[in-house]
Amino acid sequence: MSHALIVIDVQNDFCPGGALAVPGGDEVVPLINNMMPEFDAVILTQDWHPAGHGSFASSHAGAAPYDLAQMPYGQQVLWPDHCVQGSAGADFHPDLRVDADLIIRKGFRPQIDSYSAFFENDRTTPTGLDGYLRSRGISQLTLVGLATDFCVAFSAMDAARLRFETRVTLAACRAIDLNGSLDQALSDMKSAGIGLI
């Protein structure tokens, strides 16, 4: 069985000094780099928003970052503008090894956000990652990156739902922890049978 490392959104805007900095986000970089040679494949995901994306608070009159908005696909946290296509903030952290087998860009549709590496937030529009992994004969996944309670957890939950053997290496993840979101994400992942290392 082939085993892939899925590296979620280790980008400048999610690291200290970035537009949506995850506390300690840059601390995962050396850990992830050291893990990469242990896997049959390495896949990186990259948040890749057009300017004026619908998940940005700045796109909603009177809204502030971290407010909740109702979208056609459900409730959405409104974020500071981040990971805008072609910006320095959207670049991978400069110390991250990027000699990956595949880079999946997500969140590029203007009116729908994408936390998961597998699906947009409507839970049905695929990114293509599932098909790629199956065509490579990959059945085991280890996830790392940013942020534990959003893009990592959503990706892991989808991986488990798609019947991949899934684990998350928590030492190589960091969380936003928005109103208890980390505890909720950890509980959800455990309930889904995801191995938390």
Query: Which candidate in 15, 47, 83, 106 is catalytic?
Result: 106
Neighbour count for residue 139 (Cβ, 10 Å) = 14
Q: Is 190 a catalytic residue?
A: no
Q: Is 9 a catalytic residue?
A: yes
Q: Are the beta carbons of 192 and 157 closer than 8 angstroms?
A: yes
* Sequence-distant (≥ 6) Cβ neighbours of residue 86 within 8 angstroms: none
Q: Are the beta carbons of 28 and 146 closer than 8 angstroms?
A: yes
* Sequence-distant (≥ 6) Cβ neighbours of residue 131 within 8 angstroms: none
Nearest 5°: the CA angle 54, 161, 135 is: 90
> Residue 11 pairs with which residues in a beta bridge?
92
Query: Which candidate in 9, 26, 47, 158 is catalytic?
Result: 9
Q: Is 95 a catalytic residue?
A: no
Q: How far apart are the C-alpha atoms of 155 and 141, rounded to whole Å?
A: 10
65-90 burial, b if ≥16 CB within 10 A, otherwise e?
eeeeeebeeeebbbbebbbbeebebb
Q: Are the beta carbons of 154 and 115 closer than 8 angstroms?
A: yes
Query: Which candidate in 13, 151, 158, 173 is catalytic?
Result: 151
Known catalytic residues are 9, 106, 151
